[in-house]
Amino acid sequence: MINSSRLTNTFLDLVRIDSPSGREKAVADHLCRLLVPRGYDIHVDNAGSFFGGDSGNVIVRVPATGPGDAMAFSAHMDCVDPCIGVEPVLSDGVIRSAGNTVLGGDDKAGISAILEALFHLEDAGLPHPELFLLFTVCEEAGMFGAKHLDFSRIKAKEIVVLDSSGNVGTIIVRAPSKAGVTITFHGRSAHAGIEPEKGVSAIQMAASAVSRMQLLRIDEETVANLGRIEGGGQTNIVPDCVTLTGEARSQNNAKLMAQIEHMRLCCVTACQELGGSFDFSHEISYPAMDVSADSRLLHRALHACNDLNLTVAVKGTGGGSDANIFSGKGLSCINLGIGMSRVHTTDEFIRVEDMVNAAQLTAALMQR
């Protein structure tokens, strides 16, 4: 049986530890102190050195006690702001924060479920193949921990990520690729009251370009958004520079690139019309994830959910996670719903019952 009290205490201990993106060392140290006495092979890689973080990913190898191919289970250690000084409150089987911060169930509930599943297997003497536990850093800021994970230490070809909202039984099999987009328009400054004719307004160019763009929901697989505009200055000066920052996402890589090209061409037309110039750049933040319907890992997860009488929902999501990075590395990967709700808000909460169910499902998958 899953030890609900131990699971809850593991979670409460974790959420009380401050761990904004790039500052996860206290959580990493806590996990090492917790797991070293159990005799696992624990390694903290140097992922943090690539982006100025204070810790790398915690990689735990658990020796096999039974047959089967190695498997990996992953959750991230960082939380979104505001996440400093979390005070968890447990009432009527629901855990919330005191209200001034996020709770941090995203993704410390995932870490807790993985740990409790493993402890349960050991307590019950249940056999399992070689396991790798991957506790990553800086997921919320761009999956930098997963991008720089020391994959040489991981033998597993299948990874279960515990990092999705939704009821336990939710299995995420599709997630979009994301591209960040930066556009800078260059005009010509002039005195707006005396000789505005000599100026070329970068703001006017930007407005013209944006007015031509298809944005927000493009189709069932594709979205795009411009989230920031910066530039200009005094009202009596024609602005000579303005920068737009945005993103595009799609389940389909061809559609993603088509949307980016559409946005660029809108800028071309605006500059030809008004006489300025522009710089346009995009960067793929992470690849799309698309799990095949005949995936062995997916089918094992479906059977495990059925065995536990969980309502199954196989679906896609509009957000990215470490699962996108793992999938992009050619690994078989799914992302599980673990019951966390209203994540990234100060209203975030999770039910103890859902954490228990997530641990039970994880334990079932650990047994192959």
Give the helix ranges, DSSP H, for the chain: 4-15, 25-35, 105-124, 144-147, 202-212, 253-274, 296-307, 322-328, 352-366
pTM, 2 dp: 0.92
Phi and psi dihedrals of 257, rounded to 5? -70, -35
* Amino acid, res. 341: S
Class of 177-286 per CATH?
A: alpha beta
Q: In the structure encoding, which two tokens stand for residue 165, read together?
A: 């909202």
Domain locations in the chain as residue ranges: 4-175+288-366, 177-286
- Residues with a catalytic annotation lie at 78, 139
Burial class (CB in 10 A: 0-12, 13-18, 19+), 293: exposed
Q: Sign of the CA dihedral 20, 345, 105, 100? A: positive
User: pLDDT of 322-333, one tens digit each?
Assistant: 999 999 999 999
Q: What pLDDT, on the 0 to 100 scale, is given for residue 237? A: 97
What pLDDT, in 10s, does the model give residues 61-79? 999 999 999 999 999 999 9
| pLDDT tens string 177-202 | 999 999 999 999 999 999 999 999 99
Q: Give the strand pairing for 131-136 and 58-62.
A: antiparallel
Burial class (CB in 10 A: 0-12, 13-18, 19+), 241: middle
Name the class of domain 4-175+288-366: alpha beta
Pick from 188, 285, 203: which is nearest to 243 by CA? Answer: 203
> What's the pLDDT band for 1 if we cut at 50, 70, 90?
confident
Whether the predicted pLDDT of 368 surpasses 80:
no
Q: pLDDT tens-digit profile of 280-323?
A: 999 999 999 999 999 999 999 999 999 999 999 999 999 999 99
**Residue 35, pLDDT above cutoff 90:** yes
**What's the pLDDT tens digit per position in 227-283?**
999 999 999 999 999 999 999 999 999 999 999 999 999 999 999 999 999 999 999
Cβ contact 159:134 at 8 Å = yes
Fold matches, 4-175+288-366 and 177-286: no
What burial letters (b/e) apply to 108-147, b meaning 16+ CB within 10 Å?
bbbbbbbbbbbbbbeeeeeebbbbbbbbbbbbbebbbbbb
For 224: left if phi > 0, alpha if psi spans -120 to 50, otherwise beta; the answer is beta
- Percent of the chain at pLDDT above 90? 99
Q: Which residues contact 235 (CB under 8 A, 6 or more apart)?
A: 192
Task: Find the mean pLDDT for residues 168-175.
Answer: 97
Q: Which residues of 6-39 are buried (b: 16+ CB within 10 A; e: fewer)?
A: bbbebbbebbebbbbbbbbbebbebbbeebeeee
Q: How far apart are the C-alpha atoms of 19 and 89, rounded to whole Å?
A: 18
Mean of pLDDT over the chain: 97
Q: What is the predicted pLDDT for the residue at 202?
A: 98
pLDDT of residue 295: 97
